[in-house]
């Protein structure tokens, strides 16, 4: 419980809103890293929850274990430091995990049936990923170079001027024994040393390391880039490492991105992902298979979404005849099989989403995954591979079962160029429910990316733009997957190249008109909001129309020229606009909200993190100052310690409440009555 009451907490019981509030939404937890034991008898998974007690404002993750049959479960790790990324030992007796209990995030080991955890490594930098050797005697892990004594002395003496793009701390592969921890300086043994070996993974998800062991334990295949800079992802290649000698041999080195390598069960083949050539930010990849020596590489069948940024390789089948992967198709996640000779086939038929990933156990007999739906919070599931029959093994959200559920529908409408656009429409709830004879205020939420996508996640998940809280207050909420979104095929995802603020804006407004035509929305009470690219399109929208009575811009790109010169991804917009701004200055200006800002009158809330390197704070400041100097109603909130997304629960709570209050003020609060259910 927070020691600082929010505005919602200070209201009297009669004034409390109906249903979901930001306070209640923060109680929704995140289930992830669902790992089934090798024998399929148990499931380990993580539960992430907000902790706001006294001076604490953080998300804390701990590992839980449940039996596969009967659902009996227990919390395996405790304490005020997170424990994450559980991985079963090959014999199923132990679980390794990462925790910052001793300062930096290191490897720890605990028996699956409980007991005291043992620290395995003492890395001076965070362990970022790891994987057991096939025989269970070793763990390979990645960690960045530690500061040298010279580095530390320079910092201490304040003689620490930094040269940009120089003296990188690279991510290395290390090896450590698991049970016999000798005092010999041989361990942990650094396996990669060359300057090019910044070991990376595309997904950055726990349990998805950028490397894989050969079944005989003698070789590791890994992906690496030249540097750790965000813009250098395009340099990813594959190499082989001889574990005993430490010798590295290049395996694949091309202008395309090669990543996510996985050995086949017999060790004779390696599957991997390859990007288009040259790589593009829109995200096109194909699945390839080659011999373990790098020969005979061939592409497997294309997937529906062109294996976009929301697709992941899960692993090989037990017989080595197919690969499993996930892909967003429309608003739902599909678990797919991809035969070595043939088209992909969907394994799951139900709609929903797994934000925490889908994982294959060591014996390749079971999938583990967290699963949620629009009206159902996330829980941990497992299913046999041979016959997909999901079984829930957690009961994390029993205390929220009595809460009202939003009514959200998938809707479709026609836009220009004959494109069909899909979106999610959440109907207003309020204490009286939805009345078809009435028109309601409409708030439009725009996703980031622009290759993001709105999917069938739980409507009451805490987010800067809290869908369930808006619906509880009587708003209708439209989330549109405009052109450029993932989940609808490569052509659709690239349809906004050289056209930001063009077809995407028309798609958005066509969706607004469609909801008005349905009789749901009041055209005189509409608001628009979005984060990152969503902030861009929101900023653009207020320069193009006065139909919206209020707007909220979160970490928005507002000036394409200055953004390209200050962001940590300077190659991003030159890819989308097929050229540098100095060669296409008129194009960059044409598509920049700041060069159309004159005459904007829409009251605009601006939210931005002061540590944002992806969309620097100056982008929000440009918008704020331009609106303020014209006399447009505006307010800018700067969140301390915050990168491109808000990472602290209290700051997220503040952001949610400010957005609700902002649209209440300018659209007229639809509902302020009826008691809120208590969790």
Helix (H, G, I), strand (E, B) or coil at 42: strand
Position 5 scores a pLDDT of 32
Quickly list DSSP for 122-150.
--SS-EEEEEE-TTSSEEEEEEEPPPPHH
Strands 189-190 and 550-554: unpaired
- If you count them, how many residues does the chain have? 679
Q: Let me know: does 642 contact 611? Beta carbons within 8 Å.
A: yes
Q: How far apart are CA 509 and CA 416, in angstroms?
A: 11
- Which backbone phi and psi does 578 adopt, to 5 degrees? 50, 45
Q: How far apart are CA 477 and CA 440, in angstroms?
A: 10
Position 350 scores a pLDDT of 86
Which 8-state DSSP code applies to residue 17? P
Question: Does residue 675 register a pLDDT over 70?
Answer: no
Q: Which residues pair with 241 in a beta bridge?
A: 220, 248
Strands 476-481 and 420-426: antiparallel
Residue 576: cis peptide before it, omega within 30 degrees of 0: no
Question: Does residue 400 register a pLDDT over 60?
Answer: yes
Share of the chain above pLDDT 90, in %: 87
Q: Which of 103-112, 241-250, 670-679 has the lowest mean pLDDT?
A: 670-679
Question: Does residue 679 register a pLDDT over 60?
Answer: no
Position 448 scores a pLDDT of 97
Question: Does residue 71 register a pLDDT over 80?
Answer: no
Question: Does residue 183 register a pLDDT over 60?
Answer: no
Q: Which of 182-196, 309-323, 575-589 has the lowest mean pLDDT?
A: 182-196
Question: Does residue 185 register a pLDDT over 70?
Answer: no
Share of the chain above pLDDT 70, in %: 94
Q: How far apart are CA 3 and CA 23, in angstroms?
A: 13
Which 8-state DSSP code applies to residue 462? -
pTM attached to this predicted model: 0.94
Q: Average pLDDT of 352-381?
A: 96
Position 397 scores a pLDDT of 94
- Banded model confidence at residue 674, pLDDT cuts 50, 70, 90: very low
User: pLDDT tens digit string along 112-134?
Assistant: 998 999 999 999 999 999 999 99
Q: How far apart are CA 295 and CA 511, in angstroms?
A: 50
Question: Does residue 492 register a pLDDT over 90?
Answer: yes
Query: What domains appear along the chain, each with residue ranges and CATH number?
Result: 408-667 (3.40.50.1820)
Question: Does residue 510 register a pLDDT over 80?
Answer: yes
- Banded model confidence at residue 141, pLDDT cuts 50, 70, 90: very high
Residues 6+ apart with CB under 8 A from 342: 301
Give the residue with greater pLDDT, 179 vs 656: 656
């Amino acid at each position: 419980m927070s020691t600082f009451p929010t505005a919602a907490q200070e209201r009297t019981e009669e004034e409390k809103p109906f249903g979901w509030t930001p306070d209640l939404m923060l109680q929704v937890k995140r289930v992830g890293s669902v790992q089934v034991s090798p024998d399929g008898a148990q499931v380990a998974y993580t539960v992430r929850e907000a902790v706001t007690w006294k001076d604490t404002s953080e998300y804390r993750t701990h590992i839980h274990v449940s039996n596969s049959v009967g659902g009996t479960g227990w919390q395996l790790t405790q304490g005020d430091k997170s424990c994450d990324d559980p991985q079963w030992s090959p014999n199923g007796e132990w679980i390794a995990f990462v925790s910052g209990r001793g300062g930096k995030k290191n490897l720890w080991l605990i028996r699956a049936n409980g007991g005291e955890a043992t620290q395995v490594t003492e890395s001076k930098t965070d362990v970022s990923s790891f994987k057991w050797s096939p025989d269970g005697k070793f763990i390979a892990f990645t960690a960045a170079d530690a500061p040298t004594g010279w580095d530390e002395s320079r910092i201490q003496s304040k003689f620490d001027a930094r040269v940009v793009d120089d003296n990188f701390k690279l991510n290395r592969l290390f090896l450590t024994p698991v049970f016999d921890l000798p005092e010999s300086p041989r361990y942990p043994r650094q396996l990669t040393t060359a300057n090019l070996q910044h070991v990376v993974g595309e997904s950055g998800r726990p349990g998805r390391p950028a490397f894989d062991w050969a079944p005989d334990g003698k070789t590791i295949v890994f992906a690496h880039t030249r540097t750790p800079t965000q813009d250098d992802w395009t340099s990813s290649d594959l190499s082989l490492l001889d574990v005993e000698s430490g010798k590295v041999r290049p395996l694949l080195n091309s202008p395309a991105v090669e990543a996510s390598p996985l050995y086949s069960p017999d060790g004779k083949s390696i599957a991997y992902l390859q990007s288009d050539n040259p790589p593009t930010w829109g995200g096109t990849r194909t699945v390839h298979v080659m011999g373990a020596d790098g020969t005979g590489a061939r592409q497997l069948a294309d997937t529906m979404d062109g294996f976009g940024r929301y697709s992941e390789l899960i692993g090989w089948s037990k017989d080595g005849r197919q690969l499993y992967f996930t892909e967003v198709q429309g608003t739902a996640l599909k678990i797919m099989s991809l035969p070595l000779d043939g088209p992909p086939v969907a394994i799951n038929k139900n709609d929903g989403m797994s934000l925490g990933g889908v994982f294959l156990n060591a014996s390749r007999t079971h999938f583990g995954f967290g699963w949620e739906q629009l009206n159902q919070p996330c829980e941990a599931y497992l299913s046999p591979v041979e016959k997909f029959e999901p079984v829930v093994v957690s009961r994390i959200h029993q205390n929220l079962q009595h809460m009202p559920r939003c009514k959200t529908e998938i809707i479709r409408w026609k836009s220009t160029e004959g494109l069909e656009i899909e979106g999610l429409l959440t109907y207003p709830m309020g204490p009286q429910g939805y009345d078809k004879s009435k028109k309601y205020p409409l708030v439009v939420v725009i996703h980031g990316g622009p290759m993001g996508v709105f999917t069938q996640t739980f409507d009451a998940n805490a987010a800067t733009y809290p869908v369930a809280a808006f619906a509880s207050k009587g708003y209708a909420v439209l989330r549109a997957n405009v052109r450029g979104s993932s989940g609808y095929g490569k052509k659709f995802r690239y349809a906004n190249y050289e056209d930001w603020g063009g077809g995407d804006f028309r798609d958005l407004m066509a969706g607004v008109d469609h909801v008005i035509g349905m009789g749901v929305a009041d055209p005189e009470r509409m608001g628009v909001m979005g984060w990152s690219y969503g902030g861009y399109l929101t900023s653009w929208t207020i320069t193009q129309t006065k139909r919206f009575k209020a707007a909220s811009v979160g970490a928005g790109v507002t000036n394409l020229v200055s953004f390209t010169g200050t962001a940590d991804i300077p190659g991003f917009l030159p890819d989308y606009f097929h050229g540098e701004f100095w060669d296409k200055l008129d194009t960059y200006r044409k598509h920049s909200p700041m060069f159309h800002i004159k005459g904007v009158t829409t009251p605009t809330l601006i939210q931005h993190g002061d540590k944002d390197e992806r969309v620097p704070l100056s982008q929000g400041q440009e918008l704020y100052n331009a609106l303020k100097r014209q006399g447009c109603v505006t307010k800018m909130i700067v969140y301390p310690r915050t990168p491109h997304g808000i990472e602290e629960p209290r700051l997220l709570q503040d952001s949610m409440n400010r957005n609700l209050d902002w649209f209440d003020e300018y659209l007229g609060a639809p509902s302020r009555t009826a008691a809120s259910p208590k969790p």
